[in-house]
Structure 1
Amino acid sequence: MSPVRMPPIRIEARHEAWPLREAFVISRGAKTAADVVVVEITDGTHKGRGEAVPYGRYGETVDGVLDAIRTAAGRISTHADLPRELKPGAALNALDCAFWDLESKQTGIPVSKRAALPEPAPKVTAFTLSLAAPEEMAAKAASVAPLSLLKLKLGGDGDDARMRAVRQARPDAHLVADANEAWTAETLTPLLAIAAECGIELIEQPLPASQDSILRDTPHLVPICADESVHTADDIPHLIGLYDAVNVKLDKAGGLTGASSLVAEARRNGLKIMIGSMVGTSLAVAPAMLLAPCADWIDLDGPLLLARDREHGLRIDNGIVQPPSPELWG
């Protein structure tokens, strides 16, 4: 990151709630709105924005993330101050992305160039099918026929029927699945066999992160992707021999800076890459889109799940996400 000489800045953070089109259901619960934290950093002339989604799986809450940002704000004057003040997580993500955006607007140089990332390009995103009865998931899959990559949220009991029903409904689609830690040591191999039978390309986090060691001696009939088991580049050495891919999320890695390091370390170790996100607006997805050219899959469909998106939102046509406009971010 090249340094930018900055005038005095002001950091503000707030909570926003964005209603969803329909309930979003995974193995750990359901939500009807995207509760996000937005950070704005201004130097009096330019303003940078970042958005993060507190991750309840790790004890994060909206209030806790806001408190962390506001507590750290008085000790932050430059982008380089962030790692000293905050650990990877939603608060660091929102601040990191806001600084990247601000510095881009101050210099007139796109974030992709300043961060030495590939030229942003359109990419097909997965579209998530919430956890539901097999027939409901099959009907939803059939109703989005123009979308070529679908992601099934699984939950343990009944996952065999869910995978088969969606495959029958959409024989043409590329399928990936996310078990969100809901499988067990006993069901792992039989369900992987059914996933292979159904032509599913990837299974995310089948077991609880605490049971990762089981994967070492399990035949990977379908490639297995770490999600809850990976946060930052420091986690990669512990995943070798257990996983075939990693899901990179800015909210876990601590922003575009941490996520870029995680992608690079995963690639050095021969792991495939999914770029993912929590359910948020286009402002949360925009920085992640800069990593899309480095990915084997992207799962950045949050804006499609909203009842409405923010102004200058990402353009998504038939599942193809366009890079963000400067008016949105970066």
Structure 2
Amino acid sequence: MATLSARAERWPLAQAFVISRGAKTEAEVVVAEIVDGAHRGRGECVPYARYGETVEGVIGQVEGLRPRLEAGLGRGELQDLLPAGAARNAVDCALWDLAAKRAGVRAWTLAGRTRLDPVKTCFTISLGPPEAMAEAARENARRPMLKLKIGGPDDLDGVAAVRAAAPRSRLIVDANEALDFDDLRRLAPEFARLEVKLLEQPLPVGQDGELEGYQSPVPLCADESLHTRAELAACARRYRLMNIKLDKAGGLTEALALAADARALGIGVMVGCMVATSLSMAPALIPAQGAEVVDLDGPLLLAKDREPGLSIVGSLIEPPPPELWG
């Protein structure tokens, strides 16, 4: 009989991670673990206050599944038992990991892939004074893609500073809902002039209906507005790319379905993450195959990752070892 447990972990960051909603100095994660005889499956999630989640609440949701898990809970049934979010993500990924261990194959084989290729990830530059953002960009100027955070309409100088410090890197700007539509129309041509390749979630959720019919000079990507396939049709009218995160989607199962449906609609796929360890990133490498943008730099932001972790050389992430996940 399988047993289910959940625990909270704290992982210090190499330096403060700052976005428009605030700063953090550690990653708070919840790890779900399912043990079935000699086999163990794990999944990691990040409870996110923006979505009303807490560490204690997520642990409670996971542990509430224990009777169902002991009775043979599967991934399909899980989708109906918990809403999309961190708790479902941790359990879903643990079930994928356990299934791979039981079958003696890699998780991507169960997902219908013959192999998993390495991917290149963005590296995130936190919000700060322009000179601090420029220094961080200069230290990472050899990376192929940098993603920088802005906190409002007055942060154009920070974008310009990063562009000057890393002239060869592709740039993504992530507003985390910090602009209004007038800000966007004013700033988008300036972002285009600075060769920004993508702008994530410029407007708050609930206000991005204003984007319908707007021809942005910089491609727009949905993040907070997109969690599951339920929001896909609306987002497809407003954005050219979708940022799929397993914590938002509620696990690998929904993330794979969401990526497939987005591609069927001709929408570009970005696969992103919360700040977390390699255990969170490993399952996301499966939907990241063929994605236009990969942003799985969580382990690069930590003071120390778990062992074993992902092998990341520069910005290139190798497939996970089975001891880590899948």
Instruction: Tell me which of 25, 34, 37 is aligned to 2:30.
Output: 37
**Superposed, which structure 2 residues align to 1:89-108 within 5 Å?**
89-108=85-104
Q: Is 2:20 the partner of 1:27?
A: yes
After TM superposition, the structure 1 = structure 2 runs for residues 135-154 of structure 1, keeping only pairs within 5 Å, are 135-154=131-150
For the residues of structure 2 that align with 1:93 and 1:179, how far apart are their CA atoms?
A: 25
Mapped to 1, the partners of 2:237 and 2:5 lie a distance apart of 43
Superposition map of 1:116-195 within 5 A: 116-117=112-113, 119-195=115-191
Q: Does 1:65 align with 2:58?
A: yes
Aligned counterpart, 1:4: none
**Identity among equivalent pairs (%):** 49
CA distance in 2, matches of 1:269, 1:57: 28
Q: Does 2:222 correspond to 1:229?
A: no
Q: What do the CA deviations read for 1:158-204 (whole angstroms, capped 9, x no partner)?
A: 32111111111111111111000001122111111111001111000
Q: For the residues of structure 2 that align with 1:294 and 1:56, how far apart are their CA atoms?
A: 31
Q: C-alpha distance in 2, partners of 1:75/1:85?
A: 10
Q: How many Å separate the matches in 1 of 2:214 and 2:102? A: 51
* Cα distance in 2, alignment partners of residues 157 and 295 from structure 1: 29
1:268 maps to which of 264, 271, 290: 264
- The 3 A distance-change label for structure 1 pair 118 and 152 is farther
Q: Is 1:249 aligned to 2:245, yes or no?
A: yes
Q: Is the 8 A contact 2:142 2:169 kept in 1?
A: no
Q: 2:73 aligns with which of 45, 68, 78?
A: 78
Per the alignment, residue 278 of structure 1 pairs with 274
**Distance in 1, Cα, partners of 2:256 & 2:131:** 39
Runs of 4 or more consecutive aligned structure 1 residues displaced over 4 Å after TM superposition: none
Tell me if structure 2 keeps the 8 A contact 1:18–1:306: yes
- Deviation per residue, 1:180-232 (Å, 9 max, x gap): 00011221111111110011110000000111111113221100000000001
Deviation track 1:63-86 (CA, whole Å, cap 9, x = no partner) reads 010011111221232323312311
| 1:218-256 deviations in Å (ceiling 9; x for gaps) | 221100000000001121111122110000000011111
Amino acid at match of 1:150: L
Distance 1:157 1:81 in 2: 44
Give the Cα separation in 2 of the matches to 1:179 and 1:309. 27
Distance in 2, matches of 1:74 and 1:67, equals: 13
- Output the CA distance in 1 between the equivalents of 2:253 and 2:208: 27
Tell me if structure 1 keeps the 8 A contact 2:308–2:323.
yes
TM superposition shift of 1:118: 5.7
Aligned to 1:106, what secondary structure does the other structure show? helix
Name which of 29, 40, 43 aligns with 1:50. 43
Is residue 176–residue 201 contact of structure 1 (8 Å, CA) maintained in 2? yes
| Change over 3 Å in CA distance of 1:179–1:118 after alignment to 2 | farther
* Structure 1 residues without counterparts, runs of 5 or longer: 1-7
The structure-2 alpha-carbon separation of the partners of 1:179 and 1:146, relative to structure 1 and needing over 3 Å to count, comes to same
Deviation, structure 1 residue 276: 0.3
The corresponding residue for 1:3 is none
Hey, what does 2:316 align to over in structure 1? 320
1:201 matches 2:194: no
Matched AA of 1:61: T
Q: Which amino acid aligns with 1:275?
A: V
SS at match of 2:32: strand
The amino acid that maps onto 2:35 is T
Supply the distance in 2 between the matched residues of 1:244 and 1:118 (Cα, whole angstroms): 29
Output the amino acid matched with 2:5.
E
| SS across alignment from 1:30 | strand
SS in 1 for 2:206: helix
- How far the C-alpha of 1:130 sits from its partner, in A, is 0.3
Partner of residue 115, structure 1: 111
Q: Which ranges of structure 2 fall in alignment gaps of 5 or more residues?
A: none
Q: Which amino acid aligns with 1:234?
A: A
1:118/1:290 contact within 8 Å kept: no
Query: What is the letter of the counterpart of residue 24 of structure 2?
Result: K
* Aligned partner letter, 1:303: P
RMSD after superposition: 1.0
